[in-house]
């Protein structure tokens, strides 16, 4: 570690783009500064934007001078700093991919005098930790409003899938207008099979008091890991206390591992039974017993504030119910493509779909998928799925072919959440009959669905799908059975690698 590494200071001009104003805070791995984006930024405005020169931004720097690094010997220090640099670059990549008002937007990233930085949207407001300390207890409407907004942002991340791994009140901001924003994706982990694995020096990643059992046991995280941490936060929103309070000799780790929490209604009146049940399930010890974040959203939706509702009592500032009571339109920024291009080249809505053209597009996409590199064909199929189903119905084989080509392209591109929805739609609605060909096709679709779920850590479901496919293949004619068996072996190999891999990646 270089003792003379750059240290940010007020007035510094970073990469010719951002003038530092004042420090917003410093942690063990990074520090954040308020900055002004200077006029004449080298990045051209996006379509529909005015020049951004002069706006305030947050600039996050990786710390090369943290106390934890000084405690290591030179070899460990160099290795740890390499991991931190790699994670910092990954955080910038993730922020550039995630597009949701509840996740900080990436403006740019780079290196200034050898120190990496990330420039992002500045969220002015208070942390949820400060908010809870000042407003306790919260009204049910305010608690649910925070939870609904958190769930929406997490759903965006989990679709990829990306696990935050450090959800806690200090990493959640409530903006001046009440918008809830997840911050600090510094130890977030993409769950793609090809994602780089970093092994760091030190202890379990995350924050004491908000760690899921699998994190405490140093096992592989999944999106359900975030759901547990979310459950801890939601419990505190509802009751003013965490499910297992932190105290001297409290046995906190043992409680998170083994003790079932009391329902929130034990500590706060007026909590609906459905929310009571939801929170207890979010805090289940086994990941597979927790609801997915999409289910959390579905359960909470009926209890959240609605447009036109009055301001809740007691009043708070900021007011987290405001974005739900007084919604405003937000134009999403263009999301960088993963590997599948956007479907801009699909036929115009006022044109009839041409069967031959769609067949040729399917053939192109299938050729791309066979090569392992989905491209323009797969991307265009993605934009046709709803339309072919609407115009041609659910029984036409070409509709199923379009959906499968689109799903396969998304799966290979790493967008497993979107692929799951298409594969599930094929299984539920587009395969008809129970002949050998239909059984083989259904088995393949369910295996691909299991392959996507493997990325979400749903190992028991994948094991069941692989076993079921083996029995199905054995009862099919040899050619069809061989097709199913080939896919089954692929998924089984991925499952075996996952089961045999290291317990936890940092």
Contact 214, 225 (CB under 8 A): yes
Contact 189, 253 (CB under 8 A): no
Tell me the HSE value of 155 on the side-chain side, using a 13 A CA sphere: 16
The answer to whether the bond into 137 is cis (omega within 30° of 0) is yes
Q: How far apart are CA 154 and CA 194, in angstroms?
A: 22
Contact 261, 243 (CB under 8 A): yes
Tell me the HSE value of 499 on the side-chain side, using a 13 A CA sphere: 11
∠ Cα 181 205 414 (to 5°): 65
Distances in Å between the Cα of 77 and the Cα atoms of 73, 87, 200 are 6, 15, 11
Contact 449, 467 (CB under 8 A): no
Q: Quick one: how far is CA 285 from the chain centroid?
A: 21
- Looking at the chain, the number of H-run helices and the number of E-run strands are 18, 11
Q: How far apart are CA 263 and CA 76, in angstroms?
A: 45
With CA atoms as reference, report the closest residue to 229 among 150, 172, 165, 311. 165
Show the tokens assigned to 322.
């405001």
Backbone region of residue 184 per phi and psi (left: phi > 0; alpha: psi in -120 to 50; beta: other values): left
SS3 content of the chain, % helix, strand, coil (to 5): 45, 10, 40
> What does the DSSP 8-state code read for residue 347?
P
Q: How far apart are CA 153 and CA 98, in angstroms?
A: 9
- What 3-state class would DSSP assign to 164? coil
Q: How far apart are CA 177 and CA 322, in angstroms?
A: 7
Q: How far apart are CA 66 and CA 77, in angstroms?
A: 11
Q: Is position 166 annotated as part of the catalytic site?
A: yes
Judging by DSSP bridges, how do beta strands 162-163 and 189-190 pair with one another? Answer: antiparallel
Contact 459, 498 (CB under 8 A): yes
Q: How far apart are CA 251 and CA 11, in angstroms?
A: 47
With CA atoms as reference, report the closest residue to 159 among 410, 401, 339. 410
State the catalytic residue, choosing from 2, 73, 166, 428.
Answer: 166
Q: How far apart are CA 10 and CA 13, in angstroms?
A: 9
Contact 321, 178 (CB under 8 A): yes
Residues labelled as active-site residues: 166
């Amino acid at each position: 570690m270089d003792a003379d590494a750059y240290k940010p200071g007020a007035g510094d001009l970073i990469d010719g783009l951002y003038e530092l104003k004042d420090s917003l805070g410093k942690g063990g791995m990074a520090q954040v500064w308020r900055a002004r984006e200077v006029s004449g930024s080298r990045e051209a405005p996006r379509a529909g934007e005015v020049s951004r020169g002069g706006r305030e931004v947050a600039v996050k720097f990786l710390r090369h001078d943290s106390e934890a690094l000084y405690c290591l010997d030179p070899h460990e220090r160099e290795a740890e700093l390499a991991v931190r640099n790699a994670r910092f670059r990954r955080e910038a990549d993730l922020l550039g991919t995630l597009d949701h008002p509840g996740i900080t937007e990436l403006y740019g990233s780079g290196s200034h005098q050898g120190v990496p930085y990330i420039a992002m949207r500045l969220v002015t407001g208070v942390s949820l930790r400060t908010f809870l300390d000042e407003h306790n207890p919260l009204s049910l409407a305010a608690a649910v409003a925070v939870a609904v907004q958190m769930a929406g942002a997490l759903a965006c991340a989990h679709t990829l899938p990306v696990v935050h791994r450090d959800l806690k009140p200090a990493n959640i901001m409530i903006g001046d207008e009440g918008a809830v924003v997840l911050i600090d994706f510094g130890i977030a982990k993409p769950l793609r099979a090809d994602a780089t694995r970093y092994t760091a020096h030190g202890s379990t990643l995350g924050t004491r008091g908000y760690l899921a059992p699998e994190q405490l046991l140093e096992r592989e995280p999944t999106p359900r890991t975030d759901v547990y941490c979310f459950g801890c936060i939601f419990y505190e929103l509802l009751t003013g206390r965490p499910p297992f309070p932190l105290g001297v000799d409290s046995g906190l780790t043992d409680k998170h591992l083994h003790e079932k929490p009391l329902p929130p209604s034990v500590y706060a009146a007026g909590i609906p039974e459905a929310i009571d049940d939801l929170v207890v399930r979010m805090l289940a010890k086994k990941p597979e017993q927790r609801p997915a974040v999409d289910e959390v959203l579905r359960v909470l939706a009926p209890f959240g504030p609605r447009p036109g509702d009055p301001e809740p009592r007691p009043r708070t500032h900021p007011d987290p119910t405001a974005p739900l009571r007084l919604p405003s339109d937000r134009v999403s920024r263009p999301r960088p493509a993963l590997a599948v291009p956007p479907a801009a080249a699909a036929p115009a809505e006022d044109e009839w779909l041409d069967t031959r053209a769609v067949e040729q597009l399917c053939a192109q996409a299938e050729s791309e998928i066979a090569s392992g590199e989905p491209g323009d064909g797969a991307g265009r199929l993605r934009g046709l799925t709803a339309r072919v189903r609407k115009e041609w119905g659910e029984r036409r084989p070409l509709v199923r072919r379009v959906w499968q080509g689109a799903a396969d392209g998304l799966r290979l591109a790493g967008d497993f959440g979107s692929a799951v929805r298409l594969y599930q739609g094929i299984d539920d609605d587009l395969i008809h009959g129970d002949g050998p060909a239909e059984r083989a096709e259904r088995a393949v679709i369910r295996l691909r669905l299991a392959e996507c779920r493997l990325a979400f850590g749903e190992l028991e479901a994948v094991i069941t799908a692989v076993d079921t496919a083996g029995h199905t293949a054995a009862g099919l004619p040899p050619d069809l059975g061989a097709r199913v068996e080939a896919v089954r072996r692929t998924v089984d190999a991925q499952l075996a690698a996952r089961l045999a891999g290291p317990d936890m990646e940092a």
